């Protein structure tokens, strides 16, 4: 069984700040990390292949230094990794990103057929959750989002049984393979990496592809040219205000409380 995990290098949002003049992320001095949701996706892929056998590949789009998240994925247990990096990919939104990653996945599929693609629920620097379903649409395979548990994988029957998160509970569904899953953090716990994995990761050389390594590429669908969405503004949310103290007699406090509730009524409609 061949599982491919899409991973992304993101800034550590615990440290990142917003430039108030440009309304953009200020990445200066901010360490880049493997997107946490993607780490859980890699861990789940490794878990599945330990049960049914197979290979785990990871693929990422980003600058040359994004090879570090591939090394981290190998440390978790992935067998091999691919990085697509080119100036033509720069400035991509989710639509252009899904197109570029689909090109890479099709190329990987031609080398070793893919049975399952796993993505994190979303990237912590964007929170859109659109890239995974976008890839599935381009590759014409079923997407299953908000996965809490991979209950059973049947390589012979080419099916997978999944527990999927809903707003009011969960559902158990069955999908044909190949398919694409986007996973929640609750799906597993990241295990400590064994020493052999750490040694392998430190020495691992990723497969690097540029736009010239793909055939039949529509360059108008890449990077800024292929990105119809534009971020108009970014800002930090306002700090929560303290509660209002009601004073006076009981009846006066009730009247004050009613005034407050009437001012907030639009929030409850």
The full DSSP string for 89-109 is GTT--HHHHHHHHHHHHHHHH
Question: Does the pLDDT of residue 138 top 60, yes or no?
Answer: yes
* Between residues 256 and 37, the one the model is more confident about: 37
* Between residues 238 and 161, the one the model is more confident about: 161
The whole-model pTM stands at 0.83
Question: Does the pLDDT of residue 137 top 90, yes or no?
Answer: yes
CB 224 within 8 A of CB 107: no
In the structure, what pLDDT confidence band is assigned to residue 264 with cuts at 50, 70 and 90? confident
Query: Residue 253's Cα: distance from chain center in Å?
Result: 49
Question: Does the pLDDT of residue 68 top 70, yes or no?
Answer: yes
Question: Does the pLDDT of residue 240 top 90, yes or no?
Answer: no
Alpha helices in 77-194 (DSSP H): 94-111, 131-139
Can you list the domains of the chain with their CATH numbers?
A: 2-221 (3.40.50.620)
In the structure, what pLDDT confidence band is assigned to residue 197 with cuts at 50, 70 and 90? very high
Listed residue (94, 102, 113, 89) closest to 212, CA to CA: 89
Res 31: pLDDT: 81
Helix (H, G, I), strand (E, B) or coil at 203: helix
Res 269: pLDDT: 57
Range among 16-20, 86-90, 231-235 rated most confident: 86-90
Q: What are the percentages of helix, strand and coil residues in the chain, rounded to 5?
A: 35, 25, 40
* Between residues 16 and 106, the one the model is more confident about: 106
């Amino acid at each position: 069984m061949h599982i491919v995990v899409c991973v992304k290098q993101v800034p550590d949002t615990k440290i990142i700040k917003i430039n108030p003049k440009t309304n953009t992320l200020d990445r200066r001095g901010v360490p880049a990390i493997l997107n946490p949701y993607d780490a859980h996706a890699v861990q789940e892929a490794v878990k599945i292949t330990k049960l049914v056998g197979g290979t785990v590949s990871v693929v990422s789009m980003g600058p040359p230094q994004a090879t570090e998240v591939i090394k981290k994925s190998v440390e978790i247990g992935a067998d091999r990794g691919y990085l697509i990096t080119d100036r033509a990919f720069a400035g991509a939104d989710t639509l252009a990103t899904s197109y570029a990653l689909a090109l890479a996945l099709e190329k990987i599929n031609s080398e070793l057929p893919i049975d399952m693609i796993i993505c994190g629920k979303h990237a912590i620097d964007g929170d859109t959750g659109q890239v995974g379903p976008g890839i599935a649409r381009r590759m014409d395979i079923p997407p299953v989002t908000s996965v809490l548990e991979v209950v059973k994988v049947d390589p012979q029957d080419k099916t997978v049984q999944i527990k999927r998160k809903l707003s009011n509970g969960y559902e158990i569904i069955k999908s044909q393979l190949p398919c694409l899953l986007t996973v929640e953090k609750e799906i597993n716990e990241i295990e400590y990496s064994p020493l052999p994995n750490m040694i392998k990761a430190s020495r691992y050389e990723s497969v690097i592809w540029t736009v010239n390594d793909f055939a039949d590429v529509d360059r108008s669908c890449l990077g800024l040219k292929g990105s119809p969405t534009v971020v108009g503004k970014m800002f930090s949310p306002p700090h929560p205000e303290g509660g209002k103290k009601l004073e006076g007699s009981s009846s006066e406090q009730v009247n004050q409380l009613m005034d407050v509730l009437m001012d907030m009524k639009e929030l409850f409609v």
